[in-house]
Amino acid sequence: MSPIIQVSDLRKHFKLARHYRGFLGSLRNLFTRQYRLVRAVDGISFNIEPGELVGYIGPNGAGKSTTIKMLAGLLVPTSGDLFINNHIPWRDRKSYVANIGAVFGQRTTLWWDLPVIESLDLLQYIYRVPAERFQRNLDEFRQLLDLDTFIDTPVRSLSLGQRMRADLCAAMMHDPVLLFLDEPTIGLDVVAKERIRQFIMHINHEHGTTILLTTHDLSDVEKLCERVMIIDHGKLLYDGALEILRERFGGKRKLVVDFAQEYETVEVEGAEVVARDGLRVTYEFERGTMTASNLIGRLSTLFRIHDLEVREPDIEATVRRIYEERLLEK
Amino acid sequence: MSYVIGIYRRLISVQIRSQMQYRFPFLVDLVATGFITISGFVTLAFVMQRFGSIAGWKLGEVAFLYGMVETSFGLMDMIFSGFDPGNFGRQTRLGRFDQLLLRPVDITLQVLGSEFVIRRLGRIAQGVVILILALTMIHIHWTFVKVLYLPVVLSSLIAFFGGLNIIGATISFWTLESIEIVNIFTYGGTEMMSYPMQIYPHWLRDFFSYVLPAIFLNYYPSLYFLGKPDPLHFPTIAPFLAPVAGFGVLGIALAFWKFGIRHYQSTGT
């Protein structure tokens, strides 16, 4: 099967106007402009296969939203090629968007004053979803997303978590082959996040929907995505398995040891003591030069050990390091 | 086609039901907008009572002009409220326009269906009252052609004002601050069109003849309906140019709108 999303050398450059304030300033804005060029997306290429669930991450202003907007057909690229689900998104907008779904973080596609169910009915008409399929999807999603308690409530009265669930349901009612999620868990509590992750997982597995999601919350990526793409300054820094990212840039791992008795010195070659609290000692060791089993072997020949635990650095710290130390830039 | 009408009908019905949920503000606004219209006219009536006429136009005749403009502007303000420049610009900056672009429906139809301010009925009703008042004060020699032409003029006026709104909404893709300048044309234009055009200085009249052809939408048709001579000596076809001017402006506005959407999609601002 050929990739469902093909992106090659995609660029989006903006001219940002300098703004003058006040009434006279607004007249001036109308006639004269000074511009600054912003390379929001600066030559990225990737393919996504049908059924993949890909995380797209990067700091604020890295170009995530601009990319998603181009993929969803909202923005026309400055240059480069986009070929998605047999369409060029911005050129065949209407026929393209009929088969995709999108949820943009804090913005709702639903009608503010309508009960959720009536918004869904309206979308059924707009997307021409056959009644039987609509009912089947509705039954499935209302149970998965637990919509029943608020399906008759106007959207304006919903909590953020409820609204996000309603929006996810709305985005899936027409069985899109492709789903774009821009910050689907932003501002939600742990329970709400978990429910939304379950839903994303479910539609990816059961419906085979290809999903691209951007997020600030790296635990979303850890729980959902095998593949992750990292963008910064408009360029793709990394595209691959999350596991490999961790191995390459994970930095130092920790080994926490509970000794069976007090020792005066607990130093060991190849690792550094970073914390000591009674019988508990924390070592740090480099990924490339020392393995966990090797270190544990050395320690157990020197000391009597009661218990131990290897701690991987969390992905959040890993990614922060990549941004801060520009580890991926050539 | 029935799909398009179905979409429009459903979108409008959502708007009407939403507004019905806020009954008190709805009623207040209904009365207030109507009151502004009628009080404007009452002021005019007092002034005219003192001076008798404006440039040979009697109160009833001016009332006819006034009523035509108010009724059609009110109708436009209801039908084209999705294109209200200020509101459209703000909604667009909140990402609302992006949400519309995500739906597989013509974008113009969706914007048209995104607002339908029924409380404008207040203004429309007052406009109709003034129009009826005018018809009782003056004697119009009705012919078959005049009866047929009246709704044509009204719909041309709606198209003309609608076109101005669409141009304003389109400009908001570039700038929100300058929207006030558009409003000068829309509201200023409406105000000007409520009076006989011959009272204005030459340059202003030229502007409203050749740049923004407002003169053919209200003044000339009114001369025809009222059976008044033309002091400006335009060709005799002038009173019948209303549909050309009205729908011409709307057509140009829609072309500009399409251009604006392309600009928006290439800048995302």
- Rg of chain A over Cα atoms, rounded to whole angstroms, equals 25
Indicate whether A258 pLDDT > 70: yes
Q: How far apart are CA A64 and CA A66, in angstroms?
A: 5
Q: How far apart are CA A28 and CA A306, in angstroms?
A: 75
Collapsing DSSP states into helix, strand and coil, what is residue A226? Answer: coil
pLDDT band at residue A58 using 50, 70 and 90 as cut-offs = confident
Across the range B31-42, mean pLDDT stands at 79
**Do B134 and B45 form a contact (C-beta atoms < 8 A)?**
no
Q: Is A35 on the interface with B (CB under 8 A)?
A: no
pLDDT at site B251: 98
pLDDT band at residue A82 using 50, 70 and 90 as cut-offs = very high
Q: How far apart are CA A23 and CA A15, in angstroms?
A: 23
A113 and B266: CB-CB below 8 Å? no
B14 and A113: CB-CB below 8 Å? yes
Sign of CA dihedral A113, A117, A119, A121: negative
Tokens for A135, please give them. Answer: 């009912």
Residues of B in contact with A110 (CB under 8 A): none
Q: Please write the tens of the pLDDT for every residue from B74-111.
A: 999 999 999 999 899 998 988 899 999 999 999 999 99
Q: Please write the tens of the pLDDT for every residue from B107-135.
A: 999 999 999 988 888 889 889 999 999 99
B17 and A15: CB-CB below 8 Å? no
The residues, any chain, with a CB within 8 Å of residue B104's CB and separated by 6 or more, are A94, A95, A97, A98, A126, A127
Minimal CA–CA distance to A183: which of A9, A34, A58?
A58
Indicate whether A19 pLDDT > 70: no
Element at A247 (helix H, strand E)? helix A242-249
B17 and A125: CB-CB below 8 Å? no
- Overall size of chain B counted in residues: 269
Nearest to B21 among A25, A104, A113 (CB): A113
Across the range A37-60, mean pLDDT stands at 92
Indicate whether A240 pLDDT > 70: yes
Q: How far is A89 from chain B (nearest CA, A)?
A: 11
Indicate whether A13 pLDDT > 70: yes
Q: How far apart are CA B167 and CA B183, in angstroms?
A: 11
Residue B227, number of CB atoms within 10 A of its CB: 11
Q: Which residue of A has its CA nearest to B103?
A: A97
pLDDT at site B268: 60
Across the range A127-135, mean pLDDT stands at 96
Across the range A183-193, mean pLDDT stands at 88
Query: Residue A169: is it exposed, middle or buried by C-beta count within 10 angstroms (0-12/13-18/19+)?
Result: buried
Across the range B137-165, mean pLDDT stands at 95
pLDDT band at residue A326 using 50, 70 and 90 as cut-offs = low
Residues of A in contact with B268 (CB under 8 A): 14, 66, 69, 74-75
Taking every pair of Cα atoms in chain B, the longest distance, rounded to a whole number of angstroms, is 59
Q: What percent of chain A has pLDDT over 70?
A: 93
pLDDT at site A152: 95
**Do B91 and B4 form a contact (C-beta atoms < 8 A)?**
no
pLDDT at site B32: 81
Q: What percent of chain B has pLDDT over 70?
A: 99
pLDDT at site A263: 87
Rounded (5°) CA angle B231-B234-B239: 95
pLDDT band at residue A196 using 50, 70 and 90 as cut-offs = very high
Sheet holding A272-277, edge to edge: A272-277, A280-285, A253-259, A305-311
pLDDT at site B72: 95
What's the DSSP call for residue A188? -
- What part of A 131-190 touches B (C-beta under 8 Å)? 154
Across the range B221-248, mean pLDDT stands at 94
Q: What average pLDDT does chain B have? A: 90
Indicate whether B267 pLDDT > 80: no
**Do A313 and A253 form a contact (C-beta atoms < 8 A)?**
yes
The DSSP code sequence of chain B is -HHHHHHHHHHHHHHHHHHHTSHHHHHHHHHHHHHHHHHHHHHHHHHHHHHS-BTTB-HHHHHHHHHHHHHHHHHHHHHTGGG-HHHHHHHHHTTHHHHHHTSSS-HHHHHHTT---GGGHHHHHHHHHHHHHHHHHS-----HHHHHHHHHHHHHHHHHHHHHHHHHHHHTTT-STTHHHHHHHHHHHHHHHTS-GGGS-HHHHHIIIIIS-GGGTTHHHHHHHHT---TT---TTGGGGHHHHHHHHHHHHHHHHHHHHHHHHHH--
Pairing of strands A79-84, A100-104: unpaired
Pairing of strands A210-214, A53-57: parallel
Q: How far is B168 from chain A (nearest CA, A)?
A: 13
Tokens for A308, please give them. Answer: 């131990």
The residues, any chain, with a CB within 8 Å of residue A156's CB and separated by 6 or more, are A112, A113
Where in the sequence is the domain holding B79, given as residue range(s)?
2-267
Q: How far is B29 from chain A (nearest CA, A)?
A: 19
Complex ipTM > 0.95 = no
Nearest to A97 among B94, B104, B262 (CB): B104
Q: What average pLDDT does chain A have? A: 88
Q: How far apart are CA A113 and CA B191, in angstroms?
A: 35
pLDDT at site B12: 94
Q: How far apart are CA A311 and CA A309, in angstroms?
A: 6
Q: Please write the tens of the pLDDT for every residue from A274-316.
A: 888 888 999 988 877 888 889 999 988 888 999 988 887 777 7
Q: Which residue of A has its CA nearest to B10?
A: A122
pLDDT band at residue A222 using 50, 70 and 90 as cut-offs = confident
pLDDT at site B53: 84
Q: Is B13 on the interface with A (CB under 8 A)?
A: no
Indicate whether B147 pLDDT > 80: yes
B18 and A113: CB-CB below 8 Å? yes
**Do B104 and A97 form a contact (C-beta atoms < 8 A)?**
yes
A90 and B265: CB-CB below 8 Å? yes
pLDDT at site A328: 63
pLDDT at site A180: 96
Rounded (5°) CA angle A187-A191-A192: 50
Q: What percent of chain B has pLDDT over 90?
A: 61
Across the range A10-19, mean pLDDT stands at 82
Minimal CA–CA distance to B9: which of B102, B116, B90?
B116
Q: Give, in order, the Cα–Cα distances in Å from A255 to each of A222, A252, A281, B219.
A: 22, 10, 8, 89
A107 and B95: CB-CB below 8 Å? yes
The upper half-sphere exposure of residue B150, i.e. CA atoms within 13 Å in the direction of its Cβ, equals 14
Q: How far apart are CA A290 and CA B237, in angstroms?
A: 95
| Best to test chain B binding among A88, A96, A113 (most B CBs inside 10 Å) | A113
Phi and psi at residue B105, to the nearest 5°: -135, 145
pLDDT at site A329: 58
A75 and B268: CB-CB below 8 Å? yes
Number of domains in chain B: 1
Tokens for B94, please give them. Answer: 């909140």
Across the range A112-116, mean pLDDT stands at 92
Tokens for A2, please give them. Answer: 């050929």
Q: Is A76 on the interface with B (CB under 8 A)?
A: yes
**What are the helix and strand counts (H, E) for chain A?**
11, 13
Minimal CA–CA distance to A288: which of A238, A314, A328, A253?
A253
pLDDT at site B241: 96
Residues of A in contact with B93 (CB under 8 A): none
Q: How far apart are CA A182 and CA A160, in angstroms?
A: 15
Residues of B in contact with A14 (CB under 8 A): 267-269
A111 and B266: CB-CB below 8 Å? no
The upper half-sphere exposure of residue B7, i.e. CA atoms within 13 Å in the direction of its Cβ, equals 20
Q: Please write the tens of the pLDDT for every residue from A138-176.
A: 999 999 999 999 999 999 999 999 999 999 999 999 999
Q: Which residue of B has its CA nearest to A90?
A: B265
The DSSP code sequence of A60-102 is TTSSHHHHHHHHTTSS--SEEEEEETTB-TTTTHHHHHTTEEE
What's the DSSP call for residue A314? P
pLDDT at site B110: 96
Burial B99-131 (b: 16+ CB within 10 A, else e): bbbbbbbebbbbbbbbbbbbbbebbbbbbebbb
pLDDT band at residue B265 using 50, 70 and 90 as cut-offs = confident
Residues of B in contact with A15 (CB under 8 A): 267
pLDDT at site A289: 81
Sign of CA dihedral A214, A217, A221, A227: positive
Element at A274 (helix H, strand E)? strand A272-277
